[in-house]
């Protein structure tokens, strides 16, 4: 009999589920498309189906001690999802209250990037760090902020919504209506929007002149940039400029030792890291210059969100 | 024999010194002009002279247990002042190391707004709050950020330099060269710069058309606005817009329960509070709207900085 916590990462596109032991071993994991379940109760029922399947698949019986969940716009204090920009469930969804009807064990939820930050602190590259920021780059942009060795939760449990941090005057709208909000520029969707902007702004040829917005994918943009596509290179430089400027502002707030980038866009490697570091440094005041590390996540991409979510559950239980 | 900590607030214009008991009573206080001492050792010697004078003046002997100091651009971890924009001492000044030559008791230093935040938490309007931000509006703009009940210090002791938070694209330069930095707009100096901008932008008459920049003072601008001066009213509205937008961004970071304004500009009352609240709310995402209080400091203006600085010293001793 293995004691485990179920770690769940709810993303705008994919929901991931894993059975995780106390020492951070993910025994089994699975995933499904979040948007296939626009009715919230059916979404929860589907999680249950998946969890039972994972339990059945494992070669010995597993004992579920609790759940840890990461989701966009989740309130740790209230156990709710509130006005998520990138999910189908509108308004306020009482996640913990509803899920508790299916499982009578402790269930903890927080925003998906907080969960990533916990994972990074316990299992990843932030081991031993007391001040750092994790930026998750998916469909949108999430953030988890650690200061004095503790996750900043906020008065209402909603700290770290840096996707809606305004970074360009009168700029692009985010899904929540913030003008010039960071995730409208720095995310999978933001990069696609920047490709469109660059196609309009420049006259140069590009493979993207024959691809429609809806057919564009992030990996293609990385690939094109690596092959020297003018528009793709401009798009990465601009994305790094916007992110670098925003990070310089974040530093004036909490002066982190390091900032971690993870998720799809981060896996573009130096295409995104190099311009971001350059523009961040240009915008830092002397006292911060050369002191803030920009690092990739130290966790295996596929498991980081699950392990982080499970860490939230384990933290609560232990 | 009274046990006290000496609280010292070093501002761009005035340095304040006070003898403070454990329960926050300021027995005696004094002040002098910071800029009269461009040589750092003479500045420290002058502090010593003032402290001895205050000790002599008090009717019973006082025993100095330690010092708590608030100053712009101070590092708590290193005990230094580093590249302050509004002080005469350039580069890195080893404050604690030098001061320790004059006094062999514990000496703690942090940025002046951190000190104000500590004071607000212990003696002021933030009693019982775990998440709040203090914005000090003097010659420049300082900030102290409390999250999870703790001051955010930063990896290097330099968190909370929000005066250099960039808020306007390609905007005015701060003393440290940040384009569009907050304190270039929201501070005594910033308000004067905005008066100049408005005199250039509008054609309306104003009492400020016959006053030179160097002869302008903050209190006059408040007075003019209260009397309906068009340019002064525009200047306050614009200052509130810039501050409100910045505060909305700060909320996405740490979601404070309250933001406190203190210092000269804050004493303009509703002239600054009303537009700031309006523009902050306009720029908040739904989940934060109507939840963040903008409040005046709960401490008597003249003593808040001294009491906060002393609190830092007492915190260390107890």
Q: What is the pLDDT of residues A27-74, one digit of tens each?
A: 999 999 999 999 999 999 999 999 999 999 999 999 999 999 999 889
Alpha helices in chain B (DSSP H): 40-57, 95-99, 112-123, 188-201, 218-226, 230-254, 270-283, 301-317
What is the least distance, in Å, from the CA of A140 to any CA of chain B?
A: 15
Contact call for B285 and A177, based on CB within 8 A: yes
Contact call for B285 and A168, based on CB within 8 A: no
Those residues whose C-beta lies under 8 Å from the C-beta of residue A113, and which sit 6 or more positions away, are A70, A134, A135, A136, A142, A143, A144, A160
Residue A301 pLDDT grade (very low, low, confident, very high; cuts 50, 70, 90): low
What is the least distance, in Å, from the CA of B176 to any CA of chain A?
A: 7
Q: Three-state SS across chain A?
A: CEEEEEEEEECCCEEEEEEECCCCCEEEEEEEEHHHCCCHHHHHHHHHHHHHHHHHHCCCCEEEEEEEEEECCEECCCCEEECCCCCCCCCEECHHHHHCCCCCCCEEEEEHHHHHHHHHHHHCCCCCCCCEEEEEECCCEEEEEEECCEECCCCCCCCCCHHHCECCCCCCECCCCCECEHHHCCCHHHHHHHHHHHHHHCCCCCHHHHCCHHHCCHHHHHHHHHCCCHHHHHHHHHHHHHHHHHHHHHHHHHCCCEEEEEEHHHHHCHHHHHHHHHHHHHHCCHHHCCCCEEEECCCCHHHHHHHHHHHHHHHHHC
Residue B155 pLDDT grade (very low, low, confident, very high; cuts 50, 70, 90): very high
| Across B27-46, average pLDDT | 95
Instruction: Choose among A155, A249, A257: nearest Cβ to B131.
Output: A155
| pLDDT at residue B40 greater than cutoff 90 | yes
Distance of alpha carbon B8 from alpha carbon B18, whole angstroms: 7
Contact call for B152 and A254, based on CB within 8 A: yes
Determine the residue among A82, A285, A291, A293 to mutate to test chain B binding: the one whose Cβ has the most chain B Cβ atoms within 10 Å.
Answer: A285
| Across B40-57, average pLDDT | 96
* Per-residue pLDDT, A232: 98
ipTM exceeds 0.90, yes or no: no
Contact call for A152 and B178, based on CB within 8 A: no
Contact call for A155 and B249, based on CB within 8 A: no
Closest residue of chain A to B171, computed from CA coordinates: A169
Contacts A152 to B, Cβ<8 Å: 147-148, 152, 253-254
Those residues of chain B whose CB sits closer than 8 Å to some CB in chain A are: 73, 82-83, 130-131, 145, 147-148, 150, 152-162, 164-166, 168-169, 176-178, 245, 248-250, 252-257, 283, 285-288, 291
Those residues of chain A whose CB sits closer than 8 Å to some CB in chain B are: 73, 82-83, 130-131, 145, 147-148, 150, 152-162, 164-166, 168-169, 176-178, 245, 248-250, 252-257, 283, 285-288, 291
* Per-residue pLDDT, B228: 97
| Across B251-266, average pLDDT | 95
* Per-residue pLDDT, A299: 78
Largest CA distance in chain A: 64
Residue B269 pLDDT grade (very low, low, confident, very high; cuts 50, 70, 90): very high
Closest residue of chain B to A176, computed from CA coordinates: B285
* Per-residue pLDDT, A86: 79
Q: Which residue has the higher pLDDT, B307 or B305?
A: B307
Distance of alpha carbon A132 from alpha carbon B99, whole angstroms: 32
Residue B66 pLDDT grade (very low, low, confident, very high; cuts 50, 70, 90): very high
Interface size between A and B, measured as CB pairs under 8 A: 142
| pLDDT at residue B119 greater than cutoff 80 | yes
| Across A215-231, average pLDDT | 95
* Per-residue pLDDT, A302: 57
Span A116-163, pLDDT tens digits: 899 899 888 999 999 999 999 988 899 999 999 999 999 988 999 999
Residue B300 pLDDT grade (very low, low, confident, very high; cuts 50, 70, 90): low
* Per-residue pLDDT, B301: 60
| Across B279-295, average pLDDT | 96
Distance of alpha carbon A150 from alpha carbon A6, whole angstroms: 23
| pLDDT at residue A22 greater than cutoff 80 | yes
| pLDDT at residue A300 greater than cutoff 80 | no
Span A265-284, pLDDT tens digits: 998 999 999 999 999 999 99
* Per-residue pLDDT, B317: 86
Name all domains of chain A by residue range, CATH numbers in brackets. 2-120+301-317 (3.30.420.40), 129-296 (3.30.420.40)
Contacts A281 to B, Cβ<8 Å: none
Residue B318 pLDDT grade (very low, low, confident, very high; cuts 50, 70, 90): confident
Contact call for A165 and B253, based on CB within 8 A: yes
What is the least distance, in Å, from the CA of B312 to any CA of chain A?
A: 17
Contact B131, A155 (CB under 8 A): yes
Closest of B106, B187, B101 to residue B143, by C-alpha: B187
Contacts B147 to A, Cβ<8 Å: 147-148, 150, 152-154, 159
Residue B302 pLDDT grade (very low, low, confident, very high; cuts 50, 70, 90): low
Closest residue of chain B to A74, computed from CA coordinates: B287
Contact call for B155 and A288, based on CB within 8 A: no
| Across A200-210, average pLDDT | 96
Contact call for B253 and A83, based on CB within 8 A: no
Instruction: Choose among B131, B147, B252: nearest Cβ to A162.
Output: B252
Record the tokens describing residue A105, joined without a space.
């064990």
* Per-residue pLDDT, A162: 96
């Amino acid at each position: 009999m293995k004691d485990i916590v179920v770690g769940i990462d709810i993303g705008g596109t994919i929901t991931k589920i894993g059975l995780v032991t106390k020492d951070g071993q993910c025994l089994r994991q699975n995933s499904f498309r979040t948007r296939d379940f626009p009715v919230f109760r059916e979404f929860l029922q589907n999680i249950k189906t998946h969890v039972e399947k994972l339990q059945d698949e494992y070669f010995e019986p597993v004992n579920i001690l609790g759940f840890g969940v990461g989701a966009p716009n989740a309130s740790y204090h209230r156990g709710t999802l509130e006005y998520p920009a990138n999910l189908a469930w509108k308004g306020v969804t009482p996640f913990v209250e509803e899920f508790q009807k299916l499982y009578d064990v402790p269930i903890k939820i927080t925003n998906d990037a907080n969960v990533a930050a916990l994972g990074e602190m316990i299992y990843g590259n932030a081991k031993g760090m007391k001040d750092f920021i994790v930026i998750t780059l998916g469909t949108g942009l999430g953030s988890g902020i650690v200061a004095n060795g503790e996750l900043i939760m906020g008065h209402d449990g909603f700290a770290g919504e840096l996707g809606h941090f305004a970074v360009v005057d009168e700029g692009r709208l985010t899904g929540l209506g913030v003008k010039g909000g960071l995730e409208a520029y720095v995310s999978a969707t933001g990069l696609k929007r920047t490709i469109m902007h660059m196609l309009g702004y420049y006259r140069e040829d590009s493979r993207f002149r024959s691809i429609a917005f809806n057919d564009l994918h992030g990996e293609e943009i990385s690939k094109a940039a690596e092959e020297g596509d003018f528009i793709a290179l401009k798009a990465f430089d601009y994305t790094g400029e916007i992110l670098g400027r925003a990070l310089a502002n974040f530093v004036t707030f909490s002066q982190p030792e390091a900032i971690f980038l993870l998720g799809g866009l981060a896996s573009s490697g130096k295409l995104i890291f190099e311009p971001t570091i350059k523009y961040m440094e240009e915008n830092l005041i002397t006292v911060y210059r050369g002191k803030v590390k920009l690092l990739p996540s130290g966790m295996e991409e596929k498991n980081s969100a699950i392990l982080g979510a499970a860490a939230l559950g384990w933290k609560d239980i232990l």
